[in-house]
Structure 1
Amino acid sequence: MFTISSLFVTLAILVPAILARSPLHYHDESFLPDIILRVTAKNISNGCLERYSVVVNGTSPGPEIRLRGGKTSWIRVYNDMDDKNLTMHWHGLSMAASPFSDGSPQGSQWPIGPRRFFDYELHPRIEHAGTYFYHSHIGFQAVSASGPLIIEDRDEPPYRYDGEHTIFLQDLFQATDDQVEKGLTSIPFQWSGETSNVLVNGHGLPVGGKAGSISCSLAAIQLEPDKTYRIRFIGATALSFVSLGFQGHNNLKIIEADGEYTRPLPVDYLQVGPGERFSVLLKSKTRKELQRDRAKGINQYFLQIETRERPQSIRTYAVLTYPGGSSDVSTVPLSPPVTLPNTTLGWLDYQLRPLKPNDFPSLSEVTRRVTITVQQIVNNSITWAQNGYSWTESFRQYPYLVLLYEEQYAMLPSYESAIANGGMDNKTRAFPGKLGEVLEIVIQNTGATNGNLDVHPFHAHGVHYYDIGSGNGTYNVSENEKRLKGTEPVRRDTTMLYKYNQTTTPGAHEGWRAWRLRVTDAGVWMIHCHILQHMIMGMQTVWVFGDREDIRSLPYESVQGYLTYGGDAYGSNTRWPRVMHYWDSS
């Protein structure tokens, strides 16, 4: 029987074959990209704090990018820094059609060296219209080098609304990127410190509401009465897992999670972890409601944000304003206007439904189950390990995809070895998968070697997975199948692995998150915690989908410029790059 999943597998095999037969197209100096991003490092001021930061087009966050699903777009990224490498990752987008454009330096791409540029080819799928963001994937740069990425619907969106706003959440650290990274990887270990603030669209007042000598203010979100708005929330924080809600506006309906439309789900508040995105529909106040509130002295409303699962919670704000009312973006309320719950374990699990059928694989279709056991290893240094191994920038000096194109087949993970070791080939520390497989991936939280526990927003590059829930203890297949009965899991790319205690016995199972994944796209993909500190400390895994013939879909001579640091695919002021068009090959 021909199914949607078999169509995806067929396309994954046929597209590279068609490209291999077609003459490849390269562009020259006459080519004009659709978008240009210039990345620099300088002192900037956000939230009344001045910090030396990596920024995009001079600001943090960088400019909002809007692309159209089903259309190829080119984004030229200049590294205008003199002493730092750079990549740009398009968080949530599948790079199956352009394997060197994922922006992961340990997976698929050499970094862009100082004073060089790289042309990224993006071809978002029509069905992936939604909310994403872009960020550097080097060290701690993503704390500031990031910005919103919106994939617009090709036709009319499935929900009607009168306008939209983007809420872009970022952390603010006093230590610089270099200081943070050096401390996390040094002996003895030095923690980065906690976030000083959670910024909204680059704005914020110091926690406590006292402005300093540097000009700063709360973000203002302007609404018109009697309207319906789409509010896009982007969790671009480095560390902070937050709860948030609106004063006087609790009629929210979730309509999108991680670039996938959902059936409307009413909620009073949101939980957003690093890497997660949600769209909600918000109905603004009616004119009569505004009149009643103004008679009581209420002229503006607050978006209240509180961090969760950290040693100390901080509270920050943004302001909702309406025409005709006064607004004050220089102070915070004396007492919190919104009561937000503490961390709700399993929030939205088994509740979200896809807007359209999404070919969710049943348990009988699962060909293999892989468990990723995560643990913090505490000694003079502190690292994170998956199945006993860390993956840091020092472990693998070459991008994995480059190694495979350079015929370093010793680096190709052994499928047989992986099967014998629970899914990971210990020699290469990589997880292989064959095209056509349906994997069930279980991420198991365990007590650190000193018994501590933490939460982890796990993000998968490449194709979206079906999120099948979470729970305490050890994953139990039959028990989770009971929970899944009558549900329709949605596809996500970032979901939370919760902790269910503060401490436990070292190595004890204390929480799990489970996914199902159809292996349809050959390539090298990363799965990692999206807390930047944890990622730097080794909380990353590499997945190699497809055999070497599937992965090396392009002739070697056509990709040579991508296979060395500073190769011919990377341009500079004195050299034009040789850039291959993978998708539009004519």
Structure 2
Amino acid sequence: MKGIRICLNLLFGLATASLGSVFHHDDSFQPDYILRVTAEDYTEACTNRYSALVNGSSPGPELRLKEGQVNWIRVYNDMKNGNTTIHWHGLTAFTAPFSDGAPAASQWPIPPGHFFDYEVKPEVGTAGTYFYHSHVGFQAVSAKGPLIVDSCDPPPFSYDEERTILLSDFFNETDKHIIDGLTSTNFTWSGETKAILVNGHSRQVTNDTGSCQLASISIEPGLSYRLRFIGATALSFISLAIESHDITIIEADGHNTKPLNTSFLQIGSGQRYSVLLTAKSEAELKKVNKRHFYIQLTTLARPKTLTNFAVLQYSGGTDVDLKAVPSPPPLPVAEISQGWLDYELESLHPDRGFPKLEEVTRRIIIDVHQNVSDHVIWLQNGYDWVQNFPQSPYLIDIYNGKLDTSATYQRAIARGNGFDNITRTFPAKIGEVIEIVWQNQGTFDNGGVDAHPFHAHGRHYYDIGGGDGQYNATANEKLLDSHRPIQRDTSVLYRYREKTKPLAPSGWRAWRIRVTDAGVWMYHCHILQHMVMGMQTVFMFGDREDVLSQSGPVESGYLTYGGSAYGNATHSPVVRHFYE
């Protein structure tokens, strides 16, 4: 009961939090964590690349937070050129209003030579697996790291130890070169992923030059493990399996699930899963005369399939040669499973907050497809969105009274599709229950179709499924009669085929969300290339009065680029503590 009382107290504190006081974060202030973003030469996958790094490495250090508790995380921009931010991927709206880390949406980015103190408070009930990453340009390909939120109650599943396994991509070209090619009228694709990294390690072939090696995940015979898989890739949609081991899913995107046994995972960019793995006993290992097993990773829905490996290493044996790559692969090369686990993965506990179809006040259908005009772009309902579209961040304009939220909402409703083409936002009122349908379409010129992992900032949504063709609300509701949808923050819009007719429907993904928290939230494809090419949207929840009543007044130092809320070598920042 002690752990339960702690959680109840934290929950009460959340509900009754004051609007905070203002402090100078001078030398007497000690943040819980310090992250320093630099740009420098760094070696991965036997190749040197100029990359954005966190604390000098990729991935950066693991952060460990506790639900319901305030954490101060100071982020320095030590780069000489270029802005940065850090986004706490998957954490819900219960952070301070400028702490989501989405530039042009909810905060000014951190200028070179400055730092910003993020106030991060994981919501009670969302203990699980997350990660952090820059939200500027292509920096997230390397500037990222794991973030784990621990529960204030005993976990519902028992295990002896845990391991964090962060998956990422490697590209030979620099961030600038990739962005210049993607946004140029002389469009140049970034190229496909050169390597799938596991905790920053990868090796392509045994005779690669250099000291790079496969990642090794060490375990002990007979113990049970929680493996936390983080899909921090830029492009890759990955199928993952462990040689001679099955696993049981117990968490998806920070929400506990009913245990579901599986032999593999499909992980899109931005998704996270926790699984239970029971290590083999000494007797089982002796029987097979083997103490290491390969983790096989395969890219899906790409023009060319790439298969890479890591090693699950049992103690007590001869060290495996991590510079040797298995050939042929120990497992069959994976193929995509369309709609994987739709209507199968369920919440561990009954969720009385799930809105039924009759509660939906408005449905927003977002058609997504690629278009070629003077350059190649991705459109949502006919418009792209890039980080430099608004002259100043939307949330800043709301505080400054420069963005008329009522007029924005009226225009969106009048257009009939919920989209305001003037601000390029999707506004909603507090109290609405909205259904958001992502509708995949064939490319305008040749009918090509891609898979997209869509990620929502702010509040988690209920993933109510997906399928081929066009969304049918009545038919889908029948499937939900016997299914308890889980809350997610990232789910995959499948393509179902490589090509179709131009603008023809080819797959949908549907979400439901109760609009309860005022703010400006990015909703976007989490493939970095697609984001740079315009595959992003902005949802504005609540009007200006809702925003102000939720946060109270804010200091001008938050409302200007490089303002006094951003510290540097000459002055300490003036910071409001939104959670006392």
TM-score (norm 2): 0.95
Deviation at 1:437, TM superposition (A): 1.1
CA contact (8 A) 2:23 2:574 kept: no
CA contact (8 A) 1:189 1:380 kept: no
**In the alignment, what sits opposite 1:423?**
418
**In the alignment, what sits opposite 1:375?**
369
1:95-110 matches, within 5 Å, as 95-110=93-108
**1:152 pairs with one of 150, 153, 163:** 150
What amino acid is the match of 1:462? G
**In the alignment, what sits opposite 2:124?**
126
**1:314 pairs with one of 292, 306, 330:** 306
Deviation at 1:497, TM superposition (A): 0.3
CA contact (8 A) 2:25 2:572 kept: no
1:260-409 matches, within 5 Å, as 260-294=255-289, 298-326=290-318, 327-358=320-351, 359-409=353-403
Deviation at 1:411, TM superposition (A): 6.4
Return closer, same or farther for 1:349/1:555 CA change in 2, 3 Å cut-off. Answer: closer
Deviation at 1:215, TM superposition (A): 1.2
Alignment partner of 1:360: what SS?
coil
Deviation at 1:415, TM superposition (A): 2.0
Return closer, same or farther for 1:483/1:340 CA change in 2, 3 Å cut-off. Answer: farther
Q: Could you tell me which runs of 5 or more consecutive residues in structure 1 were left unpaired when the two chains were aligned.
A: 1-10
Return closer, same or farther for 1:281/1:554 CA change in 2, 3 Å cut-off. Answer: closer
Deviation at 1:407, TM superposition (A): 0.6
Return closer, same or farther for 1:178/1:83 CA change in 2, 3 Å cut-off. Answer: same
Deviation at 1:409, TM superposition (A): 2.6
**In the alignment, what sits opposite 1:3?**
none
- RMSD between aligned alpha carbons? 1.7
Deviation at 1:557, TM superposition (A): 5.8
What amino acid is the match of 2:120? L
**In the alignment, what sits opposite 2:574?**
578
Return closer, same or farther for 1:412/1:81 CA change in 2, 3 Å cut-off. Answer: farther
1:147-546 matches, within 5 Å, as 147-206=145-204, 208-212=205-209, 214-250=210-246, 252-294=247-289, 298-326=290-318, 327-358=320-351, 359-410=353-404, 414-421=408-415, 422-450=417-445, 451-546=447-542
What amino acid is the match of 1:174? N
**1:55 pairs with one of 53, 56, 73:** 53
Counterpart check, 1:87 vs 2:85? yes
What amino acid is the match of 1:323? S
Distance 1:413 1:372 in 2: 21
Deviation at 1:94, TM superposition (A): 1.6
Return closer, same or farther for 1:436/1:53 CA change in 2, 3 Å cut-off. Answer: same
What amino acid is the match of 2:539? W
What amino acid is the match of 2:314? Y
TM-superposition CA deviations, 1:35-54 (whole Å, max 9, x none): 00111111111111110000
**In the alignment, what sits opposite 1:114?**
112
**Larger CA deviation: 274-283 vs 554-563:** 554-563
What amino acid is the match of 2:329? P
How many residue pairs align between the two structures? 565
Distance 2:516 2:373 in 1: 41
Alignment partner of 2:34: what SS?
strand
CA contact (8 A) 2:108 2:561 kept: yes
Return closer, same or farther for 1:42/1:342 CA change in 2, 3 Å cut-off. Answer: same
Q: Could you tell me which runs of 5 or more consecutive residues in structure 2 were left unpaired when the two chains were aligned.
A: 1-10
Deviation at 1:146, TM superposition (A): 0.2
TM-score (norm 1): 0.94
Deviation at 1:380, TM superposition (A): 3.7
**Larger CA deviation: 70-79 vs 552-561:** 552-561
Alignment partner of 1:414: what SS?
helix
Distance 2:551 2:388 in 1: 29
Distance 1:246 1:203 in 2: 17
**Larger CA deviation: 283-292 vs 142-151:** 283-292
Deviation at 1:568, TM superposition (A): 0.5
**In the alignment, what sits opposite 1:6?**
none
Identity, in percent, stands at 54
Deviation at 1:375, TM superposition (A): 1.3
Distance 1:133 1:227 in 2: 26
Distance 2:79 2:189 in 1: 26
Distance 1:508 1:136 in 2: 35
